[in-house]
Structure 1
Amino acid sequence: MILTLTPNPARDITYAVPRLHVGESHRVSVTGTHAGGKGLNVAGVLACMEVEHVAIAPVGDGDRAFFAEDTAQRGIRLRMVDTPVPLRRSVAVFSTDGLATVLNEQGESQPQQVWDDIVGIVRDTARPGDVLAISGSLPPGTPADAIVSLCRAAADAGAELVVDGRGRWVREVLAAIPALVKPNASEAASMTGAEDPTEAARLLVGQGAWAAIVSRGPEGIVLVTATGRVIEARPGTPGVGNATGAGDALTAAITAGLDGVARDEVDWPAVLRVGVAWSAAAVRQTVAGVIDRTDVDALFDDIVVTELA
């Protein structure tokens, strides 16, 4: 089973405009309002994949009914953690030229009790062979030891750890617990100082990751493992559309490929092919976390996978 954690959930609002012009007024159509945050987007894709999962997110009283209804409609199995912190908002403006502009509120720091409750859920739920995926930003002011304690609880339960984030907290997690990390190219560069995605992945492995997957947008992804494997996967024909949920779809597919599988038994070429296909299919959608499986099937054979080392 896969557990996803959204440390900084949001009410995601997607607007559509013919074209976004900075400094001007726009009439917009609302194409979706969802329970959001990257971990919930990952869970939405897992639901599309029909993979067993539990999505964990701190949600206050005023938003619980909305989150419960929206996630139920999307097939997400949600475990809400009570919090006094108000929900942030994330607004994505999608234009017909294929560009998406996203405005994210930062959110507010969660009290220690919330983190203690999340650790308790992970400790009670996770089993050997499960995967815990932590996706997205941390609220400002989150102590690093809170997230490290959470990751240690998952590791102690025998679960694999997947981290899709950036910043100091990721480095502190890697210093304490080996994990698979999945940043995009700019995030990987900011964490390592290396502009080349493959070199950045190698440096992340050097920081403690047992595997690092760096996404490169329409150019696909590159994997570097602690055992020295280097594999690239990319779509034969780069897609054009809304890339907002592409990384979350990739995270979902990667975690599904790790679920119940030992590290030395992962079929990386197959996992990466599936990951890029689901990521490319996500680009065709205007809302993150929702994917048409017929798009995945149409794209699957177009993925090029190359082992470099």
Structure 2
Amino acid sequence: MTTDPPAYRAPGADGTGPTGVFEAHRPLLTGVAYRMLGRVADAEDVVQETWLRWSGAEHAEVRDPRSYLVRITTRLAVDRLRQARARRETYIGPWLPEPVVTDFGPAVPDTAERAVLADSVSLAVLVVLESLSPLERAVFVLREAFGFPYGEIAAALDRSEAAVRQLAGRARRHVDEGRPRYDVDPAVRRDLTERFLAAASGGDLAGLLALLAPDVRLVGDSGGRAKAPLRVVESADKVGRFLIAVARQPVPQAEFRLVELNGGPALLVLSGGRPDSVFQLGVRDGLIQCVHIVRNPEKLTAVVPRGPSRLHRRTGRAG
């Protein structure tokens, strides 16, 4: 048996008001928008537009602020994703999602909760989500990452529940087929990342090749604004030699940090205190299967840790 959610209480009734209600839901809205768009700035723009619409709403008539806000955010994100895909057709070189810090600390203490969060926001999954239609992506994000019931998703997208279930099934099949089978053990990934840095920075080609799978792939995203390969580099020999060549071109005032980005360890390279590049490894069976490199400066503004992540997962109601 289900009951209706409690009616929204007028501003001042509980000391929070519309602004407090919105801020309480901001992490959820940002998480939905980022997984939909793969860009922090785009996600923040969508959340800001959601705020503008919320601030002009008749709050006393909103019975479920959470569903109301998610519905606005999702529809805005779908529209922006359609526009973004047209722009990406002219993007220079491979396109990767924007890395984002996910060092949650005590905000998400449950191990299972962290695992779901890390998977739903990983670069590997976000890359696969690019193959979905905007509606499929919205359904997948709301259902798989946030546990929303099909009925709420249907209302958010103005579709029937039967249509949403079909979209969910199709999206899940596409993701399962395209998702790389990487190891998720953070200790293994961190160890390989440290060994990767030592071998590459030390010019140790043999040591680096020992870490790379024979069919390893290197994907670099610069948007034409920094040096990075314009095509995917494949095979251990080519990837290893490319990385050694990069290491021989010193970064001014270089500093290296191991940070948690998109739910897993990553190598952040700073130049004069500013982000220069991010390296994140896809690992399976103790070997590096994929190297993602982000060098587009527009995508590096959110990688320096600055307090709790804004991408907390909020558990949805069962259904």
TM normalised by structure 2 equals 0.28
Which structure has the bigger radius of gyration?
2
Structure number with the higher strand fraction is 1
Structure number with the higher helix fraction is 2
TM normalised by structure 1 equals 0.29
